A and B are shown apart, each in its own frame.
Chain A
Amino acid sequence: MTSDLQALRITWSELDQVTGLDIGSVFMGGIIRPSVWRSRRQLLSLVITESLVLGTIFIVCFGLGLVLVRQQEGFDQLGGLLLGLAGAIAVGASAWHFYQWQRSKTFITLARLLDECDRHNDIIQALQVMAELEAAQVTAPEFPRHSEVLVALQATRDSLISALMTEKILRRHRVLLERRQELFGTIETNLATLQSLQVNHQASEYRQFLQEALSIGLAVQQEMIRGPAE
């Protein structure tokens, strides 16, 4: 049963493939997952990552600053340089968080689906633990209706994958879908154009019929006039 359950897991690489984004426990396509704020462990991971990144940025900027200020004779404003760098990095970090907040609005659905995937994986993990406990205790009763559980989990998995794929399509064509009012307007205009074309076509057909009927009529009349004379 353990191998069956393992196959039902939704792995990170599968999520990457289905969503088209780099998915992890803290980030989804470079955006902080809202679930981070609910989990202490993930929050700690985010804080460590941010601190390390800010530290790296500080190191690079400080190195660059040193190269630039050494051109000045008698430079003794190291404190000012450090303060200026710290301020610039703080402003940059605030701007990055604001950008994250702006972008996260378009990832709400994805975040919810990823949370559901996490829950699905947690259930599978719990079942795996139960299966291992069963295997360890020979006399323990077998897990009841495990085939039905597997079917239910497979259905959940399929639904989640399908929902993630749908979300990807909607996300990728978000700009187009946001213009739906304009799109409807365009469709209406196109329809009107098509109708007018059809009317024009009908009119030209009608005119052709009339012309043909007229020429037939004229021909018949000419034949009738000619007939008695002959």
Chain B
Amino acid sequence: MEHFSTLILLLRDRPTFLEEVRHGKKIESKILSLLVVSSLFFAIYGAIIGSSSGWQQLLVSMVKLPALYLLTLLICLPTLYFFDILFGSKADFRQYAVLSLTTVSVISVLLFSFAPVTLFFLVSIRSYHFFLLLNVAIFGLTGFIGVRLFYSGIRSVMDFTEDTPMIRNRLLLFWLVLYGLVGSQLGWTLRPFFGSPGQPFELFREVEGNFYSQVITSFFSLLFGR
């Protein structure tokens, strides 16, 4: 239960949490706790969205959703760390790891909080495109909040002031864009998360188009009923 208390500290008392990160206090246990708790919440939400297409999709989405967020972090974190230390950061890798895990944890908690809403629409509306767009909106909103908190958190921990070189701030913004791009591409590679209605279970889909074109297609399908 200590893992959940770390998450509660992050959610309730962010200044204390960030202060502890700045001083390198209990960093390893924070990384472990945030990793475990966020995986758990992602797995629950993954199971909900996967349940729209049967038990096999439920099990696979339960693994795919946490994998998507954690792998995105794993891919992008070295870029942030090495570029930032190159431009004058004094923080160590563990501090970057725990800060980026706060993003993932906040997203996972917000997704978990949306779980009853998603479940409600899953059982009440049988429209694939609506369910898809609803989840795109939920993922977009939670991702935006998570990234915003990460941005303010890292600026606070790294003591960003007016004297801090502008390049570091730009680098941080660039990294956030990169994080979003890698995440959406990885999500596209790992799909399906929902499974198509009336189609048999499939582990993968053919790599065709991209994430953004699919969102636009779904939007028009919902509007014009195609």
Any chain B CB within 8 A of the CB of A216? no
B68 at the interface (CB under 8 A from A): yes
B25 / chain A contacts, CB cutoff of 8 Å: 16
A59 to B46, CA, bound (A): 12
Q: Mark B178-193, 1 if CB is under 8 A from A, else 0.
A: 0000000010011000
Known contacts A16-B26, A24-B2, A66-B203, A53 near B67 by CB under 8 Å: no
Asked if B64 and A52 sit within 8 Å, CB to CB, the answer is no
Residue numbers in B under 8 Å from A70 (CB-CB): 189, 204, 207
Q: Which residues of A contact B64 (CB under 8 A)?
A: 63, 66
User: Is A63's CB under 8 angstroms from B71's CB?
Assistant: yes
Report chain A residues within 8 Å CB of B70.
56, 59-60, 63
- Given contacts A60-B70, A70-B204, are A52 and B3 in contact (CB under 8 A)? yes
Query: Mask for A56-82, Cβ within 8 A of B = 1, else 0?
Result: 101110111011001000010010000
User: Is A92 located at the chain interface by the 8 A CB criterion?
Assistant: no
The contact of A63 among B28, B40, B190, by CB within 8 Å, is: B190
A112-154 to B contact mask, C-beta < 8 Å, 1/0: 0000000000000000000000000000000000000000000
Q: Are A63 and B67 in contact (CB under 8 A)?
A: yes
A49–B3 Cα gap in the complex (Å)? 9
State whether the Cβ of B36 lies closer than 8 Å to any Cβ in chain A.
yes
How many A residues have CB within 8 A of the partner chain?
Answer: 22
Please judge, given known A-B contacts A49-B36, A63-B190, whether A30 and B28 are in contact too, CB under 8 Å.
yes
A55 within 8 A of B: yes
- Whether, in the assembled complex, A212 has its beta carbon less than 8 Å from a beta carbon of chain B, the answer is no
A66 touches B67 (CB 8 A): yes
Q: Is A188 part of the binding interface, using a Cβ–Cβ cutoff of 8 Å?
A: no
A45 neighbours in B (Cβ, 8 Å): 1-2
Tell me the complex Cα distance, A22–B31, Å: 13
Q: Considering only CB atoms, which chain A residue lies closest to B39 in the complex?
A: A56
- Residues in B with CB closer than 8 Å to A53 are 32, 35-36
Task: List 6 tightest A-B contacts by C-beta distance, closest first.
Answer: A63-B67, A52-B36, A56-B39, A59-B66, A70-B204, A60-B70
Beyond the given pairs A45-B2, A52-B40, A59-B66, 20 more chain A to chain B contacts, judged by CB atoms under 8 angstroms and listed by A's residue number, are: A16-B26, A27-B29, A52-B39, A53-B36, A56-B36, A56-B70, A58-B63, A59-B39, A59-B67, A59-B70, A60-B70, A62-B67, A63-B67, A63-B68, A63-B71, A66-B190, A66-B203, A70-B207, A75-B203, A78-B203
Can you spell out 10 A-B residue pairs with CB atoms less than 8 angstroms apart? A22-B29, A27-B29, A52-B36, A56-B70, A59-B39, A62-B63, A63-B66, A66-B67, A66-B190, A70-B204
